[in-house]
Structure 1
């Protein structure tokens, strides 16, 4: 150990020319798992029995609803007469509402395609395991990025006159701005709650908000010719 020669690491196939070899030994580190005794429940018969009971109760309730209330069915389909408005099933009315504002390629192909691609790609990104608030670190830079993205999206929706989607976007953006001005040490519990939410929470909240609003408008506020009507208006 008293040798003060400098050792230089390198790669050489000639053992006689470079006989020195350096080996780096590191301490093995393994994760410590704390065993915690938790109450267990057998899948069979406890969980399975509860699931069967829940299914039976739900079936009874659905049968009772079917017997007590008439389904809102219309007359037999007439191929020579197209109903006005011709609405898709409720779970597609959000897309049909988008078709009112955007070309079919955008509303029917690009928008759903981007959502599907995002759902495929997002799991491969660097995941925020600790679920930290989106504005808790590097607040100024992230706020600038958020402002730019929010303004671009709002301008895009405004130019296409998609006001029904612009309003939810502005509401979510307002809450995100409030989160950006808050911290985990804020006096208000609500502001601490907003500050603690990660980016995934805000994206999913905005997406669900838009989906609910577009579906509700397509269901209750669209009449003949896809014109705006109030839910209590008869047509």
Structure 2
């Protein structure tokens, strides 16, 4: 059998981007250098800002034309002596107003908004499933117990206040999550797909 000999060609140069795999001898008077690539650059001013101003002006012109061509469905002037029934809140308070249909004022106006604000502040400080591993990948029994207790308390809370529009999808998502917990010999494609979903996917699907 003939032995294969690996041959290396010696080259002179300091550009590691051109020949990344090589043996380099660095003495006290030399240093390894990497030449910077001259990529195409776009300055923020005036190129980028000028394009944004042009896009803003075009959008403004389009909105003005639409406003002149089509009338907005506005109602008559407000009458302080006549309150419409039902009275709708502005769009930025419409979500809170809709919550009042399903929960008491204390829960819909104070408890839920406070929990949402606290969650928005606290969640970024937690390591929230960055790897995206399946929900039942590790600590299956412990996670299943936490899931059952959490969902049970949530269903009791929703049932007491008769929030059926929230309770029904919660039951559906919880049922699919429980189905994905059990290991079947020949699972269907849907079950196999659900078993690979992380916690973030289940939460966003529930929302």
TM-score normalised by length of structure 1 = 0.58
Structure 1 runs not aligned, ≥5 long: 1-36, 210-235
In the TM superposition, residue 58 of structure 1 has moved relative to its aligned partner by 3.4
In the TM superposition, residue 52 of structure 1 has moved relative to its aligned partner by 4.2
After superposing on structure 2, the runs of 4+ consecutive aligned residues of structure 1 that deviate more than 6 Å are none
Cα distance between partner residues in 1 of 2:67 and 2:92: 21
Contact 1:41–1:47 (CA under 8 A) maintained in structure 2: no
In the TM superposition, residue 146 of structure 1 has moved relative to its aligned partner by 1.3
Cα distance between partner residues in 1 of 2:165 and 2:65: 37
Cα distance between partner residues in 2 of 1:57 and 1:179: 51
In the TM superposition, residue 88 of structure 1 has moved relative to its aligned partner by 1.0
Aligned to 1:138: 139
Cα distance between partner residues in 2 of 1:116 and 1:122: 10
In the TM superposition, residue 50 of structure 1 has moved relative to its aligned partner by 5.2
Contact 1:182–1:192 (CA under 8 A) maintained in structure 2: no
The 5 Å alignment of 1:41-60 reads 42=42, 44=44, 47-48=48-49, 51-60=52-61
In the TM superposition, residue 95 of structure 1 has moved relative to its aligned partner by 1.6
Aligned to 1:198: 198
The 5 Å alignment of 1:167-206 reads 167-181=168-182, 188=189, 191=191, 194-206=194-206
Contact 1:132–1:197 (CA under 8 A) maintained in structure 2: yes
Aligned to 2:84: 83
Q: Which has more radius of gyration?
A: 2
Which secondary structure does the structure 1 equivalent of 2:136 belong to? coil
Higher relative contact order (CA 8 A, sep 6+): 1
Which secondary structure does the structure 1 equivalent of 2:156 belong to? helix
Cα distance between partner residues in 2 of 1:69 and 1:110: 42
Q: Give the length in aligned residue pairs.
A: 168
Structure 2 runs not aligned, ≥5 long: 1-36
